[in-house]
Amino acid sequence: MLQQEEDTDTIELISQLANYQKQLRILEQKILGERLVREITKQIHQSRSLDEILHKAVAELRDFFLVKRVIIYRFKADWSGRAIAESVETNYCTLDNQDLIPSQFISQYLDSYRQGKFLPHNSIIRQQTNKLVNHLIIPISKEKELWGILVADNFPESRLWEAWEVELLEDVSLHLSIALTQNELYRELEIANEELQELVFKDDLTQLYNRRYFDEVMIKEWKRAIREKQPISLIMCDVDYFKQYNDNYGHQAGDYCLQKVAQCLALSCQRPTDAVCRYGGEEFVIVLPNTKYSGAIYIAGQIRSRLRQCKIPHEKSLVSQYVTLSFGVASCIPQVNEDYNLFLEKADNALFTSKKQGRDRIILADDEN
């Protein structure tokens, strides 16, 4: 009898020790899980790239839970969608850009998820079939709307997800929701900054870049041309007899004239790197990176041709019955320590020579004498 009681006590002690060790392991895992959440939160605070945040999150979650795959699936307006971030075991098929959600899930559980009523997918199936499952699905919301789902997948092997594991994934989902909101705010800020840049660097009348922008882009492109040993060209042009035009037709017509000239300049410079600027009054300047003399002369010719086609009347001009431009063109491969202001001066001198020689012409800096 005594021996039986001792055996019972021993079994109970072993059971208590086993339970204690189990609880200790769970506690250790919870601590590691909290550390994981902190790392994901840190990444959210440090990065402005939503793509980087999501890919790092799925990679760390897969390593932590030791599952085959962790994937983030984003819904579209019609509730179809695609995988936008995936971490998958080596030699395991990818689900990138594939439909992940089974029709049964969409028909039975999507409405609940959209309403914020969360029930982990393994619990749903376990209640219905009394079997373990191989994946867990957690909703991801954005501003209280269902945005997508976070899926931890261990197919083809099944496992029972512990309550604390589900809570950890819910916590990660919450932080990912914060990342989505943060990303939206960053996008709005970028748009606002772009609009502000437009106000700062755009000329209201012509919608070309202004003198301030020219000063900045000229320095940047000059330095790049030095670094890459590439040519850079500059076109300066001036509306011929513009004062007489204004005096004769009025300032409103003068504004219209400048707008038409600006359109001719902009249409003739199609590369993203070309900078067409209003330099001041009726004077314009164009910065042409990676452009030799021949290219600059061609563009100046295109501008003249477009302006002639506009046939803007100018009865007070001494060179034509229509509005014309005088051009000064400079081009070089700048050397280290060479001052771009001297380059600008060459183009300006060429423009002055163009006017002195009769206007309505293109003069190269090398030919100004």
The structural domain count of the chain equals 2
Write out the residue range of the structural domain in which residue 290 sits: 211-367
Residue 200 vs residues 53, 207, 288: alpha-carbon distances, Å: 33, 12, 22
Together in a domain, 24 and 172: yes
Residue at 18: amino acid letter: A
CA 200/CA 60 separation, integer angstroms: 43
Together in a domain, 185 and 222: no
Together in a domain, 182 and 219: no
Query: Residue 356, CB half-sphere, CA atoms under 13 Å: how many?
Result: 10
Together in a domain, 176 and 231: no
Q: Say which residues have a Cβ less than 8 Å from residue 92's Cβ, sequence separation at least 6.
A: 68, 69
Query: Residue 152, CB half-sphere, CA atoms under 13 Å: how many?
Result: 27
In a domain, 282, yes or no: yes
Q: Say which residues have a Cβ less than 8 Å from residue 156's Cβ, sequence separation at least 6.
A: 134
Position 181 pLDDT exceeds 50: yes
| Helices 163-201 and 2-46: angle between axes, nearest 10 degrees | 10
Q: Say which residues have a Cβ less than 8 Å from residue 113's Cβ, sequence separation at least 6.
A: 139, 146, 149
pLDDT > 70 in the chain, percent? 80
Together in a domain, 218 and 360: yes
Together in a domain, 152 and 253: no
Position 123 pLDDT exceeds 50: no
State residue 264 phi and psi, 5-degree precision: -60, -40
Where does residue 174 rank: exposed (0-12), middle (13-18), buried (19+ CB within 10 A)? middle
pLDDT one-digit tens code per residue, 86-101:
998 887 777 766 665 5
- The pTM of this model reads 0.60
